[in-house]
Amino acid sequence: VMDGSTVVIGGLMEEREEDGITKMPLLGDIPILGWFFKSKTKTRNKINLLVFLTPHIVKEASQLSIITEEKHREFTEDEKFYRKGELLVTFNSDVSGETAATIISNNTASIINYFKELNTYRIQLKSGQEVEAAVRKFSSLPEVQNAEPNYKFKIQSEFRKGS
């Protein structure tokens, strides 16, 4: 294997097939006529897990630390569960909308949305501004009640369509 080339070294495969019947109580149990009051579903799930390996040939210790730092930076970027360049900022109840807009623009950001019920602004940071630094900056302001990244949520549903 060449230095930096990626190869597959193994994997797992899982296939699952599920049959289900949905019916109206009593009516679905009537012979022949019951077919009008029930439905069948068939679900197939296939999961493939592959293990990839990318070897790096290291001849000097300094190369190892450079590669390690680079990979660490890549992994931490991928693991961020919030939108880059966006914050959610909640101002104290006595802060007017005009004052909030001024504070946001003075901190080189712009308003994307305003959620009136929460008194919270979704703001866009200037290009290249780090979210963590902006959270610290906005949180330190006396007019700000709360500042946090705009977190991403992944909602998983148990609902499955029949095939």
Residue 37, in any domain of the structure:
yes
Instruction: Classify residue 153 as exposed, middle or buried by CB count within 10 Å of its CB (0-12, 13-18, 19+).
Output: exposed
98 with 135, same domain? yes
Q: Is the same domain home to 86 and 74?
A: no
Q: Which of 25, 47, 78 marks a domain boundary?
A: 78
Based on the fold, state whether residues 12 and 72 are members of the same structural domain: yes
For residue 70, is it within any domain? Answer: yes
Q: Is residue 157 part of a domain?
A: no
Q: Is residue 55 part of a domain?
A: yes
Range of the domain at 69: 7-78
2, part of any domain: no
- Please identify, among 26, 60, 78, the residue that sits at the C-terminal boundary of a domain: 78
| Pick from 92, 82, 117, 89: nearest CA to 104 | 89
45 and 93 in a single domain? The answer is no
**73 & 104 share domain:** no
Please, what is the Cα angle at 135 between 132 and 137, to 5 degrees?
A: 110
User: Which residue among 50, 78, 106 closes a domain?
Assistant: 78
Q: List the CATH number of the domain containing 120.
A: 3.30.70.80
Judge whether 159 lies within some domain: no
Q: Is residue 160 part of a domain?
A: no
pTM equals 0.49
Q: Are residues 86 and 72 in the same domain?
A: no
Q: For residue 79, what pLDDT is reported? A: 64
**Distance between CA 121 and CA 105 in Å, rounded?**
12
Residue-by-residue pLDDT tens, the chain, 163 positions:
788 788 888 888 889 999 988 998 888 889 888 888 889 999 898 888 888 888 878 888 788 888 888 877 777 666 667 888 899 999 999 999 999 999 999 998 999 999 988 889 999 999 888 888 999 999 999 999 999 998 877 665 555 554 4
